[in-house]
Amino acid sequence: MYRQWSPDDEYLNIDPPPSSVYYNDSVPLNSIYSNGSIQLQYRNEIHKLVAPATVYRTARGMSNISELNLQYNLTWSFPVDPSFTYFVRLHFCEIQPPVNARDNRAFWIYIANRTTGSYTDVIQEAGGNGFPMFKDYLVRIEAEEEKKQLPLFVALRPFQENSAFYNSILNGAEIYKLSRSGSLAGPNPDRPPNPSSPDPSSSPSTSSPTRLILIVAGGVVLGLAVVSLLLFFVFRRKRNSKSSSSYIDGGSASKSMLPYSSFPSTNETSKDGSSNLPSELCRRFSLSEIKSATGFFDDNFIIGVGGFGDVYKGLINFNGGGGATTVAIKRLKQGSQQGANEFRTEIEMLSQLRHRHLVSLIGYCYDDEEMILVYDYMSHGTLRDHLYSKSQQISPSIPWKQRLEICIGAAHGLHYLHSGASNTIIHRDVKTTNILLDENWVAKVSDFGLSKIGPAAGAANAHVSTVVKGSFGYLDPEYYRLQRLTEKSDVYSFGIVLWEVLTARPPLNRAGGNDKRKMVSLAELARQCCKKGRVAEIVDRDLDGEIAPECLKKFAEVAMSCLVEKGVDRPSMGDVVWGLEFAKELQCGSEERVKLLAGGSGGGEGRKSSGGSSMFTTNSEIDLGSGVNGMMVITSGTMTLTSVEESSTNHEYSEDSLLGSNLVFSEILDPKAR
C-alpha cells in the first residue's frame, strides 16, 4: 500500500486506425470511467491490501463506438531498461452497471507485443460487477543495439466473439524491475550537451579550499563503496559454495508470460565444485536427500518406467518441520548421452516456465554422475492411463466433459509455450503419456527433454532445421519429410491426442492379417470416418449417450484441422483453445436444453440417466471434408499407403500391441512413459 499511483496519460500510446469511416479528429480514442459509489466486493481481506479502492473505482477504456474499437488497440508504452525481467501486474474491476454478466465484455491482453493467453472476461474471472481482480506476468526485455531504453507495451483489444460490448478496460498497472545479479542499474544516460565555456577572466584563478575538500571526500566515499562491494561478493561466493543447494521460489506470479534468458551451454562442473546448471528458479538437491526420499531407490517406490529412466514416488521435507511433500523423482539411466542432453534441456526450460497447465519442476540433483529431476507429484498419472492402458481397468472412465476440460487445459499449456515468450518453445513430444493429471484432474504438459527454442516472431525463417525426434504415431509427417520443425508440429501431435481422447484408441495399432509389423494409423482412420460422416462409429463406447451431436461435430472439426497435411494450414494453439472452449459451450448448452425438456430431471451432467437411457444419441453424420482413399499403415518405421478397410472397434488393447521400440526416435525406448 506504500506506493504512489499516478495518472496514465503520459504513457498512453494509441495509434488511430488508418482510414476508418468511424474515426475523425473529434472522436476520442479513450475514455475515463469512474464510479465512486460502487461497493467493492473483495474475495478476502488480503485482496483489500493489493491496491487502493480508488484504483478499482476508476478505469481507462476505449471509445464509445463499438465498430471503431475493433480497429485499434488501447495501448500504453512504458520506457524500461533492457536486459531485465519485469514483473507486470494489471488491475481490473467492472464498475459500469450495464456490464454485469459473462460475455458482456471480453478482451485480449498483449504484453511486449505478445498475447498472454486466452481472452479475459473480468465478470467471469472475478465473480461479478464490482469484484476487483489482478493478473501477474513476467516478461523479459532483451537489449537492442545502441538503445539504452526500450518501450514495454501493454495493449488491450476487444474479443469479437460473443461479446455484447466491444471495449477494453484497465483500472491500474504496476511494473517492477527484477534482477538476478543483485543490481538494478541500467545503462548510463546520455551525457547532457556541453555548456558554453565560461569566460576565463570571470572565473577564479585558483581552486577554493571548499572544492578541494569535496574532491577528497568524494574519493574516500568512492573507495569505501568499492571495498564494500568486493567484501559483499566474496562473502556471497563463500556462502554459495558451502551450501549444497540454493532455492529461489519462482512463485505463481507468472501465469501467462515467462522470463526468457540463456544459461551456460555445458554440463560441466565448475572449479569450485558447483554445477553450472541453473538454480535460480529451482532447487538443487543433494544425492543424500534423494536417496532418503526414495528409500535408497527402492523398487517399491517406482511408479513409472520410461526412456529417460525410472520414476519414483518420494517424500521430501522442505521446511524441516513435520510435514513432508509427495514428489515425483525421475532418475536418468546411466551412460545415456542423449538422456544427458535431455536432462539439461528440461532443467533450462522448466526452470523458466510457470503456468497452471505445465508440470512444475521443483529441482534437480547432479551429484556423483547421477542426473535426477524432481517434480510435483501428479496423483492421477497420465492421460493415457485413463483411456486404454491396463491401468484403465482399475481406473474409472473419465466422463466426456472432464475429458474436454483436460484437452482445454493441455491446449492452454501448449499455447503458452508457443506464444508466451520472445521465442517460441516447441515441445516436440506431445502425447497422452506426457499429459499428467493432478489430484483435481487438472492437465499438466510434461517432459521437455526434446523441446527446442523456435524462431523469434517476425524472423526470416519460420522453422528450425533439426534432426527428427519424437514418437511415431504423433509425429508430424511434414516435419518427418523435411526435417523442418515449427510449432505446427506440436499442433499435429495434439490433434492425435484429441482423437485418442474421443476414441480411446492408441495412435498406432497393429493391423490384422499375417503381417504383424503393419500399424494402423489413428490419424488416417479419423480422416476416413470424417470423410464418410461416420465419426460416431469410432467414439469410445464408454461415452455412449454423453456427447451432444453439435459438440461432437465441433470437437471432430478441431481435431481434424490439426491433422491438415501442410503445417501452415493448421490452426494455432490459440485457435485450438478457442475451438475446444466453444465445443464445451455447445455441450453445456445442449445439456441444459435436455434438462429443460425433461422437466429439470435430466440424467446428470452428460452421463446416462438412472434408468439406463442416454442423454444424447451419437448417430449423427459428420462430414469434415475429403481424405485419402486407403488406410495409413506403418511397416518397420516406413510410411506407406495401402487399401485397408476400417479396423474393428474392439477396445481391448494390450501393452505390447501399441508401439515397439523400433518405431520410436531418439532414446524413447519405452513410448508408454518417459
CATH code, domain with 127: 2.60.120
pLDDT tens, position by position, 538-568: 999 999 999 999 999 999 999 999 999 999 9
Name the domain boundary from 323, 344, 376: 376
- In the block, cell 473483495 appears at 42
Residue range 7-36: mean pLDDT, rounded: 84
Give the model's pLDDT for residue 342: 80
Q: Is residue 91 assigned to a domain? A: yes
Residue range 584-600: mean pLDDT, rounded: 87
Assign 507 a pLDDT band (cuts: 50, 70, 90).
very high
Task: Output 205 or 442, whichever has higher pLDDT.
Answer: 442
CATH code, domain with 349: 3.30.200.20
- Taking Cα atoms as reference points, which of 243, 258, 225 lies closest to residue 136? 258
DSSP-H helix ranges across 351-384: none
Looking at the fold, whether 600 and 548 belong to one and the same domain comes out as yes
Any idea which of 328-337, 524-533, 652-661 has the lowest mean pLDDT? 652-661
- In one-letter notation, the amino acid at residue 333 is K
CB 464 within 8 A of CB 454: yes
Catalytic residue among 429, 447, 476, 490: 429
- Taking Cα atoms as reference points, which of 162, 126, 114, 144 lies closest to residue 47? 126
For residue 414, the surrounding DSSP H or E stretch is: helix 400-419
Q: Is residue 271 assigned to a domain? A: no
In angstroms, the CA 65 to CA 21 distance is 11
Looking at the fold, whether 60 and 84 belong to one and the same domain comes out as yes
Looking at the fold, whether 330 and 449 belong to one and the same domain comes out as no
- For residue 550, give the 3-state DSSP assignment: helix
Assign 320 a pLDDT band (cuts: 50, 70, 90).
low
Any idea which of 252-256, 277-281, 417-421, 430-434 has the lowest mean pLDDT? 252-256
Any idea which of 230-234, 497-501, 644-648 has the lowest mean pLDDT? 644-648
Any idea which of 244-248, 268-272, 384-388, 559-563 has the lowest mean pLDDT? 244-248
Residue range 630-658: mean pLDDT, rounded: 31
Assign 272 a pLDDT band (cuts: 50, 70, 90).
very low
Q: Is the pLDDT of residue 67 over 50?
A: yes
Q: Is residue 341 assigned to a domain? A: yes
Q: Is the pLDDT of residue 220 over 50?
A: yes
CB 304 within 8 A of CB 377: no
Three-state SS sequence of 122-181: HHHHHCCCCCCEEEEEEEEECCCCCCCCEEEEEEEEECCCCCCCCCCEECEEEEEEECCC
Q: Is residue 104 assigned to a domain? A: yes
In angstroms, the CA 660 to CA 642 distance is 21
Q: What percent of the chain has pLDDT over 70?
A: 68
Entry field: residues in the chain: 674
In angstroms, the CA 304 to CA 331 distance is 11
Q: Is residue 83 assigned to a domain? A: yes
Q: Is residue 189 assigned to a domain? A: no
Residue range 383-408: mean pLDDT, rounded: 83
Assign 483 a pLDDT band (cuts: 50, 70, 90).
confident
CB 545 within 8 A of CB 508: no
Task: Output 36 or 608, whichever has higher pLDDT.
Answer: 36
Q: Is residue 242 assigned to a domain? A: no
- In the block, cell 488501447 appears at 74
Task: Output 169 or 322, whichever has higher pLDDT.
Answer: 169
- In the block, cell 573507495 appears at 223
Looking at the fold, whether 346 and 421 belong to one and the same domain comes out as no
Domain that holds residue 146: 9-178
Structural domains in the chain (count): 3
- What's the predicted TM-score (pTM) here? 0.54
- 4 class by beta-carbon count within 10 Å (0-12 exposed, 13-18 middle, 19+ buried): exposed
Looking at the fold, whether 501 and 480 belong to one and the same domain comes out as yes
Q: Which of 89-93, 112-116, 641-645 has the highest mean pLDDT?
A: 89-93
pLDDT tens, position by position, 618-639: 554 555 543 332 323 222 232 2
Task: Output 437 or 250, whichever has higher pLDDT.
Answer: 437
Q: Is the pLDDT of residue 10 over 80?
A: yes
φ, ψ dihedrals at 623, nearest 5°: -115, 110
Q: Is the pLDDT of residue 482 over 80?
A: yes
Residues 6 or more apart whose Cβ sits within 8 Å of residue 543: 397, 399, 400, 502, 618
- In one-letter notation, the amino acid at residue 337 is Q
Pairing, β 464-465 against β 283-284 = unpaired
Query: 38-42 long-range contacts, Cβ below 8 Å, gap at least 24?
Result: 38/95, 38/129, 38/130, 39/130, 40/93, 40/130, 40/131, 40/132, 41/127, 41/128, 41/130, 41/131, 41/132, 42/131, 42/132
Q: Is residue 139 assigned to a domain? A: yes
pLDDT tens, position by position, 99-110: 989 889 999 999
Mean pLDDT, rounded, of the chain: 76
Looking at the fold, whether 330 and 405 belong to one and the same domain comes out as no
Q: Is 438 a catalytic residue?
A: no
Assign 276 a pLDDT band (cuts: 50, 70, 90).
very low
Looking at the fold, whether 322 and 429 belong to one and the same domain comes out as no
Give the model's pLDDT for residue 252: 31
Task: Output 17 or 389, whichever has higher pLDDT.
Answer: 17
Q: Is 330 annotated as a binding residue?
A: yes
